[in-house]
Amino acid sequence: GETALPDYIQSMIAKDNYTLGSVNLISAGSIPEDCGALIICSPRNDLSENELSIILSYMEQGGSVVLLSDFGTGIRPNFDTLMAAYGMEFVNGVVVERDSSYYLTTGYNHYLLPVLGQHAITESLMQNGQYVLMPQAMGIRETANHRSTLNMFSLLTTSADAYAKPGAMTATTMEKEDGDIDGPFSVGALVTEAANGGDTKLAVF
């Protein structure tokens, strides 16, 4: 149930000298040995237990995963397990900004312009004075307990005035209400960990 990668993203990946291919973990049973990174793009359904096991095994050997996740895709316990295995969790709800410096000026305060964190991934954006637009994003938080070998990086961060609205799909107002969750949040995060096969990486947006 994944979304196809847009053509312009495929073109950018190709310009970086990567070859794109697809893998069906249900039938393949493993991730190809020459896989430099596994991209999971806007899945509508949860992973199966077997798919989760295959991905975790790949990551334990130094594999890299990029997870692009949409809001409102339902309960996905196996994706939650994948995230938790690397010290991250999603915050239930659409993130809303109250600081006008960090959302689109047209008044769509759930169309975020997050702060760029210092990292090689964001370096060229910062040097060129570019922004990242994150519409209808979920928050990402570091879990309270995780192993000390994980290195956590916030790549895209809201202001401290942001909040998450769990009932956004049926809400009658985007103003802050009881039950909304206080920020700040990451909306793009990276975790790395040294492994036998190299550095494991999990990037989530």
pTM: 0.92
Contact (CB, 8 A) for 62 and 199? yes
- Name which of 136, 142, 9, 115 is nearest 66 in CA terms: 9
What pLDDT score does 127 carry? 96
Quick one: pLDDT at residue 170? 76
194 and 158 Cβ atoms separated by less than 8 Å? no
Rounded Cα gap, residues 129 and 92, in angstroms = 31
The DSSP symbol for 101 reads G
Helices H, strands E: what count in the chain? 5, 12
Rounded to 10 degrees, the C-alpha dihedral 42/194/92/70 comes to: -10
Q: Is the pLDDT of residue 72 over 80?
A: no
pLDDT tens digits, one per residue of 83-109? 999 999 999 899 999 999 999 987 789
Yes or no: say if 82 and 55 are a contact pair by the CB < 8 Å rule: yes
